[in-house]
Amino acid sequence: MNFKLDYIEKIAKLLNENGLTEISLEDGEQAITIRKDNVGVVNVATPAAIPAPVAAQTTEEPAEPAQKGKAITSPMVGTFYASSSPDAEPFVEVGSEINEGDVVCIIEAMKLMNEIKSEHSGKITQICVKNGDPIEYGQVLMYVE
């Protein structure tokens, strides 16, 4: 599947609106990187098909059981923080009961701290990232059942 022009335009708009300087996406064997230079011009680089990494498939950890519940995903690229400060308790832990709209973590992007609120109510069944981990747009942060 090739990236469609309207999809690339939407990603470039997202880049500008959020003050980002670069977005990289992969879809199977296709990849695209969109960069904004210092004068505000957006450059799009689409490399040829990227070969699937065979070694990565054989060195992955054993598959975990199928996830139950709904995923809470990252709405942006940044750094994941489980609490509001290093000394504070985490917003949620595995087993925590949450309601729709509750803050579940913070993502730092471009020196801004963004509270991430749950779109689901229920119990946290798994937290997929660790405090301080770099995260990507759309990456699963945790599951709610």
Q: Looking at the structure, do residues 54 and 77 belong to the same domain, yes or no?
A: no
Q: Looking at the structure, do residues 23 and 51 belong to the same domain, yes or no?
A: yes
Q: Which domain holds residue 50?
A: 5-59
Assigned domain for 64 exists: no
Q: Looking at the structure, do residues 50 and 79 belong to the same domain, yes or no?
A: no
Please count the structural domains in the chain: 2
Per DSSP, the residues of 66-99 read: PP-SEEEE-SSSEEEESSSSTTSPPS--TT-EE-
Judged on CB neighbours under 10 Å (0-12, 13-18, 19+), 50 is: exposed
- Residue 112 backbone dihedrals phi, psi, to 5 degrees: -105, 135
The CATH number covering residue 78 comes to 2.40.50.100
Task: Please give the chain's pLDDT, 145 residues, in tens.
Answer: 466 777 777 877 777 777 777 777 776 677 777 777 654 445 555 555 555 555 544 444 444 545 678 999 999 999 999 999 889 999 999 999 999 999 999 999 988 999 999 999 999 999 999 999 999 999 999 999 9
